[in-house]
Copies of this chain bind each other. A is one copy, B any other.
Amino acid sequence: MSRLNETHDPALQSWVASANRAGQDFTIQNLPFGVFRRAGTNEAFRGGVAIGDEIVDLAALAATGVIASETEGEAAAALAACTGPTLNDFMALGQPAWSALRLALSRALRAGSPLADAMHACLVPQAAAEFAVPARIGDYTDFYTSIHHATNVGKLFRPDNPLLPNYKWVPIGYHGRASSIGVSGQAFHRPLGQTMPPGADKPNFGPSQRLDYELELGIFIGQGNQLGSRIALDDAESHVFGLCLLNDWSARDLQAWEYQPLGPFLAKNFATTISPWIVTLEALAPFRTEWTRPAEDPQPLPYLESATLRREGAFDIQIEAWLQTAQMREAGEAGSRLSHSSFRHSYWTVSQMVTHHTVNGCGLQPGDLLGSGTESGPTPEEAGSLLELTVGGKQSLTLPNGETRRFLEDGDAVILRGYCEQAGAARIGFGEAVGRVLPAQH
């Protein structure tokens, strides 16, 4: 409860009218951070905060001086760190700075704020903007925190023993590729590579035939830790700046052939798509929930356990994957929802991922990105990938327009969405992470 403050008050309204619209992701209680410029220009990318259908241009806001260093020193310093082409400097400032700027923006954007006139000139319509990956991502780590996903995938390979013995003890993760992470709108060519057809005596080379998406959340690290130090579980969240949507595109046929013994490589590193907006952990405070572990399962080792974790270590974030085929796009159709689940089902939490990652002394840095792994829920309809929804490609999905899919086809766009809703709190949303498959280039 003590995590809530005046910025979470569900009664708050903004003088940006679109922020008050029902179903709006970017309410005044949200205030997510991103990096943008006006589309089609050579303007410098700079920090922005989403409010309704608009963006507060943080470089323009800093230039106005209305958030003044005399009266709001910490917020003004934080704002100054948001004027460049990445948010790394802002992320490095830490929780008090993030919180000070959030409070200043919340007050400035409220209906009746005396700053409204001055701030009006700092608004850029989201529809007129283009976005960049909001941080220089030094290292990207992908976890595997949904036991439902791990079990679904394991069943395809080991029907009698789907879950490996380490799963319930170790928050499994591996390093991914930072350079191929792109922001929503990313389009990529179907990857080529080696695959080994069943029964063949030599591999094929050609375009992946089993291209898939993975519905994940991304976790941006704020303040890091020195190489050689560890982050204790109850300190872990103070190192987390916020969360975004993440699509870990996967070529299942490449993956099956290459992944032993060192893990996925070319099956994943051709593209990863994130949403432009990072929702801060502070904004997510009303949607915290208890974290439980089934009584029959092993309970975490002490370094991954705490009372705070049990009380409020999980986040109830609704997540959805939508498919818009080329045919749907041509017909003006928005797409078809493939699945809907919640991050609260995750077997391991944000704090457990951070603490486990550093328990050996590994150093995290501001702007590092963690993926949660595919967040499949407990029922088959809540699965976060086609591999699961089609049972390894054995069952075809029929879409509302009559098309069918086992895996992704050229022209398909996948749209991830996320939002939090509950009685007594204002809705907040993550917007979208959209990516599209282009034909292979030979």
Contact = CB atoms under 8 A, between A and B. Distances in A.
A287 B301 CA distance: 52
A193 B357 CA distance: 10
A441 interface: yes
Nearest to A368: B179
Interface in A222-265: 227-228, 230, 251, 254, 257-265
A222 to B, nearest CB: 15
Contact of A259 (B180, B261, B270): B261
B173 A262 contact: yes
Nearest to A373: B262
B362 A180 contact: yes
A221 to B, nearest CB: 11
Contact of A205 (B176, B260, B264, B301): B301
Interface stretch (A58-66, A163-171, A374-382): A163-171
Contact of A227 (B179, B254, B265, B298): B179
Given A139-B178, A194-B169, A194-B170, A164 B261 contact: yes
A192 interface: yes
Contacts of A177: 139, 175, 362
A172 B262 contact: yes
Given A177-B139, A227-B180, A441-B228, A257 B166 contact: yes
Nearest to A207: B360
A189 B254 CA distance: 37
A199 interface: no
Nearest to A269: B362
A298 B203 CA distance: 11
Given A176-B175, A302-B205, A360 B192 contact: yes
A196 interface: yes
Contacts of A52: none
Contacts of A228: 188-189, 270, 441
A92 to B, nearest CB: 14
A363 to B, nearest CB: 5
Contact of A263 (B138, B166, B174, B298): B174
Interface string A315-334: 00000000000000000000
Interface of A: 138-139, 141-142, 144, 164-166, 169-170, 172-180, 182, 188-189, 191-194, 196, 202-203, 205, 227-228, 230, 251, 254, 257-266, 269-271, 298, 301-303, 356-357, 359-365, 368, 441
8 closest pairs, A vs B, by CB? A263-B263, A191-B360, A175-B175, A174-B262, A262-B263, A266-B360, A270-B360, A269-B362
